[in-house]
Amino acid sequence: MSQDLKPTLSFKNVTIAYKNSLALENISLDFFKGSLTAILGPNGGGKSTLLKSILGLVPLESGEIKKFSSKYKDIAYLPQQTEIDRTFPLTVNDVIAFGACQAKGFFKEINQETNVSIQKALEKVGLKEAGSRSLHTLSGGQFQRVLFARTMLQDAQIILLDEPFAAVDRFTIEDLIKIIKEWATEGRTIIVVSHDLEFVQTYFPQSILLARRVIAYGPTEKVITLKNLRQARQVSYEWEESNFQDDKTMQFLKNDV
């Protein structure tokens, strides 16, 4: 894979603690321009914390995160869908327009140019005619498409997606994957948190197995191995046994190991 030598985003010995317990320990990672990386690992393994640390939303205990980006804040973040109220009285266009606030701030008018970008984004996510529909009429998959359109409007060099395919139908997943790949070929750096092993194996060239520290990191076929998964499970035993009831990654392991 051809990459610039200089990473767009790099972690150097980063440690993050929540209320006296370590959430992430001594993380060193590099992300390159145009790369497509999945982060997997057991619940409580620090996947979402890693994304939040890139955004600067959690304080670092030690180490540093370097961002080599032209603009000051050039990161788009798509939170987990479950955290959003889908009955909120907004139209699809309203939601997508929020994406433009990142560059323009909150107080400029939404001009013709923005409207054109909104329309383009709608077409890309396959909701060409849906602009004036209100949110509550959308299915889970359609709603996720809208959030992807909003992410497009942010036009960021680094894109962080937190569980973008949970509660989304197969058909939508395939469309969204296409969009993610397109972003990567445009030279954006993409980091996706996912629970789903098969999924990561199918679509993501690189991945990181995270269980509070980096268990493995590199090409996906070398990361997702029995040995690494066993190790992740071993480590996660230390913090929570109940993990195994509801964690898909670990469930997969149980059948397997």
Among 10, 69, 91, 115, binds other proteins (CB under 8 A): 91
Nearer to other proteins, 88 or 237 (CB): 88
Cα dihedral sign, 248-253-254-255: positive
Instruction: Write down the least CB distance from residue 172 to other proteins, Å.
Output: 20
Q: Does residue number 90 form part of the binding site for other proteins (CB under 8 A)?
A: yes
Q: Does residue number 57 form part of the binding site for other proteins (CB under 8 A)?
A: yes
Q: How far is CA 205 from CA 34, 132, 242, in A?
A: 12, 37, 31
Footprint (CB under 8 A) of other proteins, residues 184-243: none
Nearer to other proteins, 77 or 165 (CB): 77
Among 154, 172, 194, 249, binds other proteins (CB under 8 A): 154
Contacts of 227 (CB under 8 A, 6+ apart): none
With the CA atoms of 194, 196, 242 and 60 taken in that order, what torsion angle do they form, in degrees rounded to the nearest 10?
A: -20
Q: Does residue number 106 form part of the binding site for other proteins (CB under 8 A)?
A: yes
Among 59, 70, 89, 245, binds other proteins (CB under 8 A): 89
Q: Which stretch binds other proteins (CB under 8 A): 64-72, 77-85, 187-195, 246-254?
A: 77-85
Q: Which stretch binds other proteins (CB under 8 A): 9-17, 91-99, 178-186, 211-219?
A: 91-99
Among 28, 111, 134, 234, binds other proteins (CB under 8 A): 134
Q: Does residue number 71 form part of the binding site for other proteins (CB under 8 A)?
A: no
Chain residues in the site for other proteins (CB under 8 A): 55-57, 73, 75, 77-79, 83-85, 88-91, 94-95, 98, 101-102, 106-107, 134, 136, 154
